[in-house]
């Protein structure tokens, strides 16, 4: 069994689905992780990118350093190479055709909804290629909870790709946005897509500890992730506790939604072309 895990950025799969990754590896499955927005940018950078680089304390190519962190994190979980990286720029480095920055402030959840159709089509085509190249039996990606522009692009591109390949697809709930009141909702799905309610999957204490070690490998991101003064371990513990009553799962868990139907598959297939 081969599971293709499509991550928007070089930490999202581990942050939101790291417990599952550990479980899949322990079960003997082949796990292939493809990170969409992993291309190295070329200066000049947007103001928000410059601000983020200062927070990350990275000298030189900021994305190359993050790729190295991702290798360390995935290795900690037992995920073996190759660690695939897409040729697409993070939103903080992208420009619109008119030259304006896609992200012109520090809020990646505040963006235009439907103005990067060509990008989504290009991502979908690359994901379809990867599904075929690695004979993926199923695909997992983000639900775009929080409405981050890159997460939404990734989710919709994967939906378009699997509409062509027919692959079973699951969506993880995105952390840390999942734990942020006011933004912890999934944005509207493309027409004809129907998904299940989130299902909590318990993660053992040992696998959860591996996930936390993997998360700590993203050293450049920790300052931002813990900017509220709470450790990642405590953030996860609080999130699980706050949502436990709705899921009835003890201990640590991650939530996943199954894609039940792509009833408007023709439209989605055209988006992948």
Which range of residues forms the domain containing residue 214? 2-271
- pLDDT value of residue 127: 98
Residue 67 tokens, joined = 């790729």
pLDDT band at 97 (very low <50, low <70, confident <90, very high): confident
251 touches 205 (CB < 8 A): yes
pLDDT, mean of residues 112-136: 90
Kindly give, in sequence order, each residue whose CB lies less than 8 Å from that of residue 73, ignoring residues fewer than 6 positions away.
Answer: 11, 14, 18, 214, 215, 217, 218
| pLDDT band per the 50, 70, 90 thresholds, residue 262 | confident
pLDDT over 90 for what percent of the chain? 83
The CATH number that applies at residue 218 is 3.40.50.10320
pLDDT at position 239 over 80:
yes
Give the C-alpha separation, 245 to 25, whole Å: 29
Q: Which range among 57-61, 77-81, 265-269 shows the weakest confidence by mean pLDDT?
A: 265-269
Q: Which secondary structure element, helix H or strand E, spans residue 31, and what is its range?
A: strand 30-35
pLDDT per position as a tens digit, 76-92: 999 999 999 999 999 99
Domain count, the chain: 1
Task: Evaluate if residue 179 carries a pLDDT over 80.
Answer: yes
Confidence of residue 232 (pLDDT cuts 50, 70, 90): very high
Instruction: Tell me the C-alpha distance between 11 and 57, whole Å.
Output: 17
Q: What is the dihedral of CA 66, 70, 76, 81, to 10 degrees?
A: -140
Say what the pTM is. Answer: 0.95
Q: Is 34 left (phi over 0), alpha (psi -120 to 50) or beta?
A: beta
């Amino acid at each position: 069994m081969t599971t293709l895990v499509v991550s928007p950025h070089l930490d999202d799969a581990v942050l939101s689905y790291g417990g599952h990754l550990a479980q899949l590896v322990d079960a003997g499955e082949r796990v292939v992780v493809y990170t969409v927005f992993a291309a190295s940018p070329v200066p000049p950078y947007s103001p928000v990118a410059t601000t983020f680089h200062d927070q990350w304390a990275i000298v030189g190519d900021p994305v190359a350093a993050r790729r190295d962190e991702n290798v360390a994190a995935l290795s900690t979980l037992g995920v073996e190479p190759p660690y695939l990286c897409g040729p697409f720029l993070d939103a903080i480095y992208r420009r619109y055709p008119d030259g304006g920055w896609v992200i012109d402030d520090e809020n990646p959840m505040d963006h235009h909804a439907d103005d990067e159709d060509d990008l989504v089509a290009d991502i979908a085509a690359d994901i379809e290629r990867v599904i075929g190249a690695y004979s993926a039996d199923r695909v997992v990606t983000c639900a775009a909870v929080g409405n981050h522009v890159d997460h939404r692009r990734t989710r919709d591109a994967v939906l378009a790709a699997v509409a062509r390949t027919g692959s079973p697809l699951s969506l993880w709930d995105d952390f840390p946005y999942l734990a942020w009141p006011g933004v912890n909702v999934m944005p509207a799905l493309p027409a004809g897509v129907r998904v299940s309610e989130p299902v909590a999957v318990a993660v053992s204490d040992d696998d959860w500890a591996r996930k936390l070690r993997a998360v700590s490998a993203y050293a450049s991101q920790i300052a931002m992730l813990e900017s509220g003064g709470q450790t990642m371990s405590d953030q996860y513990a609080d999130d699980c506790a706050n949502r436990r009553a709705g899921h009835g799962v003890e201990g640590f868990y991650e939530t996943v939604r199954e894609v039940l139907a792509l009833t408007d598959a023709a439209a989605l297939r055209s988006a992948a072309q």
